[in-house]
A = this chain, B = another copy of it.
Amino acid sequence: MNTEDFRPEKEIKVFYPPQRVLMGPGPSDTHPRVLNAMARPTLGHLDPVFTEMMEEIKGLMRYAFQTKNRMTFPVSGPGSVGMEMCFVNMIEPGDKVIVCSNGVFGGRMIENVERHGGVAVAVMDKWGEPVDPQKVEDALKKNPDTKIIAFVHAETSTGASSDAKTLCELAHKYDCMTIVDTVTSLGGTPIKVDEWGIDAIYSGSQKCLSCPPGLSPVSFSDRVTELVKNRKTKVHSWFMDISLLLNYWGSAARTYHHTAPTNALYALHESLLMLAEEGLEHSWARHRNNYEALKDGFAALGMSYVVAEQYRLPQLNSVFVPAGVDEKEVRRRLLAEYSLEIGAGLGDFAGKVWRFGLMGTSSRIDKVIFCLNALETILSDMGLEVERGAAAAAAHKSYAANPML
């Protein structure tokens, strides 16, 4: 056969993506500073200049996670790899894990427990509701041999926030370890790893950190290191075995493990630096204030939230599609006419719910107003009765009390 026989039939050109405004469940808009950082010259993964930058990333991650954990580093893969790294290292065959499930990602955790030989005890809550600590305590009482409690702090599929602090207290009371998914919360809402006593935590780069997708910041307590050291069986993965990874990320010897994604890490460094410059508390307040503005705008459009107010994530707003509206067509038009991306509902919420993300760089008042105006125009076009300009006015009014970009 000739090598030319395998050429793609279609002519392929350089890819120039359009400039979107990303207000879905992630990725969020990447800041130009972060995009620039990615485009800097590639270094070798053992270059001393590079390994020094790795140390800075670890320091900045400790700040973002609010921890002194030595084992704090970015996994060279998306959030799902970060999730799996927690489960595959901490579970040995037969270990019992209570998994709180109130959305897509709780369900994925159950898959993880079972595929790695554990026994999952599911504590189910309705989609859109937070994890109910009472149900967790009931499950703990029924399953005194539970080793780990796993839950999602910020359910990206619904926009519900669970009370991580209380759930961690329960874990401590019953002498369990914790695995906490903070993919959508890191940088956007408070996380306090050390104060709450979280054992294993993972996140993603593409949400409130506003870095392109592909990396998963993780942190493990010393209890996890001990646990892994004392395993009776080998971790069921070579790539995800943290005891091997630590020889690269955690030791001065920098033993080769895999080739670190250098340019992606430049981006993460820059986005974490921007978070540190802004300050965590400012970032949390900014996410909150822009949510308040969006919420008031939605109210003016007569739209209602899926999640009760006290459990809402400011960075992920799930609202019901107004009756009679073709939700797919609205999303299509937002993208085609405004280059604006919002998210569809998943699972039971498919076709019934939209998800609006206000994460990281996408959490800005100009984007809130733009989004409300675009939505209003399209809904009005579709025959919905809306008072033109009311949504933006409501958002402006809310924001005026606490302006912050």
Residues of A within 8 A of B (CB): 1, 3, 6-10, 12-20, 22, 24, 26-27, 29-30, 33, 35-45, 47-50, 53, 56, 59-60, 62-63, 65-68, 76-81, 83-84, 88, 108, 111-112, 114-116, 192, 194-195, 204, 206, 212-214, 234-239, 256-264, 266-267, 269-270, 273, 276, 279-281, 335, 341, 346
Q: A3-B280, A35-B41 are known; give 17 further A-B pairs, CB within 8 A.
A: A1-B66, A3-B66, A6-B63, A6-B65, A8-B63, A9-B59, A12-B60, A12-B276, A15-B270, A22-B43, A24-B44, A30-B42, A35-B39, A35-B263, A77-B77, A84-B238, A116-B236
Q: CB distance A239 to B80 under 8 Å? A: yes
CB closest residue in chain B, given A111: B238
The answer to whether B17 touches A50, judged by C-beta atoms less than 8 angstroms apart, is yes
- Contact between chains at A41 and B56 (CB < 8 Å): no
Nearest CB in chain B to that of A7: its residue: B63
With A and B bound together, what is the CA distance between A3 and B22 in angstroms? 29
Contact B115 A234 (CB under 8 A): yes
Of B1, B12, B212, the residue contacting A273 (CB under 8 A) is: B12
Residues of B within 8 A of A195 (CB): 1
Nearest Cβ on chain B to A27's Cβ, whole angstroms? 5
- Which residues of B sit under 8 angstroms from A236, Cβ to Cβ? 115-116, 236-237
Q: With both chains docked as a complex, state the minimum distance between the C-beta of A150 and any C-beta of chain B, in angstroms.
A: 13
Q: Report how far A42 CA is from B28 CA in the complex, Å.
A: 8
Q: What B residues does A192 contact at CB under 8 A? A: 1
**Best-buried of A22, A261, A279 by chain B (most CB within 10 Å):** A261
The number of times this chain is found in the oligomer is 2
Given known pairs A8-B62, A43-B20, the reply for A261 and B213 (CB within 8 Å) is yes
Chain B nearest CB from A156 CB (Å) reads 10
Which 5 pairs show the lowest CB-CB distances between chains A and B?
Answer: A214-B261, A8-B59, A39-B39, A212-B263, A77-B77
A37 to B60, CA, bound (A): 27
Instruction: Closest B residue to A77 by CB, please name it.
Output: B77
The reply to whether B238 and A80 form a contact with Cβ atoms under 8 Å apart is yes
Complex contact A273–B14 (CB within 8 A): yes
How far apart sit A63 and B9, CA to CA, in the bound complex (Å)? Answer: 10
Partner of A6, one of B12, B62, B77: B62
By the criterion CB–CB under 8 Å, are A43 and B56 in contact? no
Contact assessment for A269 and B214 in the assembled complex, using a CB-CB cutoff below 8 Å: no
Nearest CB on B from A35, distance (A): 4
How far is B115's CA from A116's CA once the two chains are assembled, in angstroms? 11
CB pair B8 A60 closer than 8 Å: yes
8 A–B contact pairs at CB < 8 A?
A: A13-B273, A27-B45, A39-B39, A48-B335, A212-B261, A212-B262, A236-B237, A261-B264
Q: Which residues of B contact A68 (CB under 8 A)?
A: 6
Give Cα distance in the complex from A38 to B26, angstroms: 18
Taken together as a complex, chains A and B put the C-alpha atoms of A66 and B266 apart, in Å, by 33
Report chain B residues within 8 Å CB of A62. Answer: 6, 8
Residue numbers in B under 8 Å from A257 (CB-CB): 80
- Is A29 within 8 A of B44, CB to CB? no
